[in-house]
């Protein structure tokens, strides 16, 4: 006989074994497991799909939350650094201002006071008034009044600048 014909003859001769002779897997007959899987296969796939999707969504959310907290931390660090730099710059400028006030400003005010005294030289006005006092007819009353008014104005300006300079140098020390 041919081998194919022999195989077909054996298949036709096969008889189902009795129930007590079947192979048991996991305390159930093999056929029962296969039947259970055939009936519940779609449900199991759906459950695994839902669980996998939930896990994936959780991981995406956790990664997003972590990146967001990292960005917030970086932003807070940058803000702290900017505030630190700003305070250091402010302190530096205050030190520079203190140095300028204690060294440069008094020198400038002394120089300015001496220049104002030179520019607002009142000796010629005083000399004319003293000459007018010695010789009563040399100056008229209007001239004396004009000289006194000019002398008041110049002296007021001179004293104002000098006292302003003294006031500023006193504030520094």
The answer to whether 126 and 150 are in contact (CB under 8 A) is no
> Tens-digit pLDDT profile for the chain (173 aa)?
566 666 666 656 767 666 665 555 555 555 667 778 888 899 999 999 999 999 999 999 999 999 999 999 999 999 999 999 999 999 999 999 888 878 887 787 778 777 877 777 777 777 777 777 777 667 777 888 888 888 888 778 777 766 665 555 555 44
Same domain, 76 and 30: yes
CA 138 to mean position of chain CA atoms: 77
The pTM of the full predicted model, rounded to 2 decimals, is: 0.40
Same domain, 96 and 124: no
Question: What pLDDT score does 169 carry?
Answer: 52
Question: What pLDDT score does 173 carry?
Answer: 47
Same domain, 173 and 141: yes
Is 115 among the domain residues?
no
Question: What pLDDT score does 20 carry?
Answer: 62
Q: Give dist(CA 7, CA 3) in Å, integer.
A: 6
| Domain count within the chain | 2
Is 108 among the domain residues?
no
Residue 20 exposure: Cα atoms within 13 Å on the Cβ side: 0
Is 47 among the domain residues?
yes
Name the nearest CA neighbour of 173 among 114, 105, 93, 111. Answer: 105
Q: Of the residues 100, 130, 147, which one is the last residue of a structural domain? A: 100
Is 94 among the domain residues?
yes
Is 13 among the domain residues?
no
Is 11 among the domain residues?
no
In this structure, are strands 24-25 and 28-29 parallel, antiparallel, or unpaired?
antiparallel
Question: What pLDDT score does 62 carry?
Answer: 96
């Amino acid at each position: 006989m041919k081998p194919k014909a022999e195989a077909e003859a054996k298949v036709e001769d096969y008889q189902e074994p009795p129930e007590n002779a079947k192979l048991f897997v996991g305390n159930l007959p093999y056929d029962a497991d296969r039947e259970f899987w055939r009936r519940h296969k779609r449900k199991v796939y759906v459950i695994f799909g839902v669980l996998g999707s939930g896990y994936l969504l959780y991981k995406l959310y956790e990664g997003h939350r972590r990146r967001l907290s990292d960005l917030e931390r970086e932003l807070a660090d940058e803000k702290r650094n900017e505030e630190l730099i700003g305070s250091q710059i402010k302190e530096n400028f205050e030190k520079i201002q203190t140095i300028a006030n204690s060294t440069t400003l008094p020198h400038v005010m002394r120089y300015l006071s001496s220049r104002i005294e030179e520019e607002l030289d009142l000796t010629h006005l005083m000399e004319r008034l003293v000459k007018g006092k010695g010789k009563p007819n040399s100056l008229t009353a209007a001239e004396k009044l004009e000289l006194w008014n000019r002398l008041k104005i110049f002296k007021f300006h001179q004293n104002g600048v000098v006292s302003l300079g003294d006031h500023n140098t006193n504030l520094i020390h």
